[in-house]
Structure formats: structure tokens, C-alpha cells
Amino acid sequence: MRHGLLVLLLLLPALPAAAQERFITLASTTSTEQSGLFAHLLPAFTAATGIGVRVVALGTGQALDVGRRGDADVLLVHDRAAEEAFVAEGWGGPRHAVMYNDFVVIGPAADPAGIAGLRDSAAALRRIAAAGVPFVSRGDRSGTHAAELRLWHLAGIDAAAGRGAWYREVGQGMGPALNAAAAQRAYLLADRGTWLAFRNRQDLRVLVEGDRRLFNQYGVIAVSPARHPHVKSAEAERFVAWLVGPPGQAAIAAYRIEGESLFFPNAGRPGT
């Protein structure tokens, strides 16, 4: 009987490689995915640990919702207030700072709103609204969208009042939003990383940069196994430790396009 069972087991086909693979699901932003960072970063983590990473690229708000549902093991996002609320509600944590870059205001070279060279991003948005020229918003609850809404608030402008005329929501990620702005010769707020990787620029230019309010911090959070016992907690924590440790931070620093850094590692720095 035992001999027959052994023969039967030997005759069974081997499990496919995908079934044997150790992997985690990472819910993250379109900016980190479309900038090319993950194609550079994740193979290094897999080579070091044997753990694969499957990325679900969404806006930050949607990525946090994925974590709340337990459909991801770990999150890498960029809306600190929303991240801290996620942790405070017990969905995961702790939150760890990982890296930063900045947002920039992009627009057509002709610059009909006259914002080029301004260092005050809220003043730039006021000029765009006053001129009634096209502005493309991601409109997707992403970290970039949240940052844009904060800037409109600081500018004292209800951008939604212009919806359908000069204010145009696309409800998509950073790449499609940039494509829409290029096609419409419109302004928009973009993260610098995706902008540097973007090839369909046409006559778009960086017009406003350097405002401290354009700082863009990213954080990583493992989803709570107490809330979702099925999550791969050990593997997720290993990813977090690698990302904020020397290997991950060095890999982030090494990622460049045409010699220009897209993200700057800052794990463990106070206030981040």
C-alpha cells in the first residue's frame, strides 16, 4: 500500500513554479510604478530574500483601502495624514519613512497663466484659476491628488467649481494624467519621479518648483495580521526591514534616469 502510494505520488505532475513561489502583494502608487523604481528595486529584494513581490499600482487612497480589506500584505504610499490614520485605526503599522522627492507644477511652454519661475505653488494655482486655462487633475484619491487639493485650499480656490471647463479630472494615474496634459496643453501637479521617466512631454515644461510645500514623502506599512490573519506578515516585515535598511536605501539612491536621482532615501530621519 505504501509502495503504491509512493508510485502514485511520483507519477503526479510537479507543482507549477508559481505555486511554489514565495511572494507578497504590495499595494503602492502609480508614481512609484510608472517612474520605473520597482523594476529596479524589487528584483534586488527578491535576489536577497527569495521572496517575490507582486505590485498593485493604485492611487494612495485606493491602496490604503486595499490594505483595509486585507488584499495586500504591505503598502508603500505617500499621504502621511492618511497613512497615520490607517495606523491609528489599527489596520497596520508601524509606519516607516522610506524616501522622498518633490512635486512640480508642469505646464505648456507658452505658459498662458504666467507662472514660470514662481516659488509659491499656491500663488501659481491662483493664477491658473484666474486665467481659466486648462488644468488636469488626477482626481483619483492618490497622494498626488491629495497634495493638489491641499494646494488649492491654500490658494483659497474651489477648483471643483470650474470642473468641466478649465478644471479637468481624469480619474487615472500619473502617466495618463501627464498624457492628458500634453494633449490638451494643460497645467498639472506631478511628482518629479514620474515626470523624469515620462517620454511624451511634447511642449510641457517644469514651471514651478522648490516650494517647501511641494515636498513628497513616502512611507511603508505592513498590514496588521491581527485584522487579517491570512496576510503574509513575516514576509511583509522582512520587506519593510530590507527597504528601510542599508540595502534598500542604497538601492533607492542608485536609481537614476540620465544621471538624475528620482527618489532620495531618508528612513529613520526624525520628522519624516
Q: What is the pTM of this model?
A: 0.87
Contact 32, 53 (CB under 8 A): no
Contact 40, 251 (CB under 8 A): yes
Sign of the CA dihedral with 37 first, then 189, 100, and 220 last? negative
Distances (CA, A) of 171 to 139, 153, 246, 251: 5, 20, 36, 31
- Alpha carbons within 13 A on the beta-carbon side of 186: 23
pLDDT of 116 higher than 60: yes
Q: Residue 24's pLDDT band (boundaries 50, 70, 90)?
A: very high
First to last CA, the chain: 63
Numbered ranges of CATH 3.40.190.10 in the chain: 23-100+216-265, 102-214
In the CATH scheme, what architecture does the domain 23-100+216-265 have? Answer: 3-Layer(aba) Sandwich (3.40)
Mean pLDDT of 247-271: 94
Q: Which CATH class is domain 102-214?
A: alpha beta
Contact 83, 239 (CB under 8 A): no
What single DSSP character describes residue 117? Answer: T
Which residues are CB-neighbours of 245 under 8 A, at least 6 positions away? 267
Mean pLDDT of 38-54: 97
What single DSSP character describes residue 166? Answer: T
Q: Residue 84's pLDDT band (boundaries 50, 70, 90)?
A: very high
pLDDT of 256 higher than 70: yes
Which residues are CB-neighbours of 217 under 8 A, at least 6 positions away? 78, 80, 97, 100, 266, 272
Predicted confidence (pLDDT) per residue in 160-204, tens digit = 787 778 999 999 999 999 999 999 999 999 999 999 999 899 999
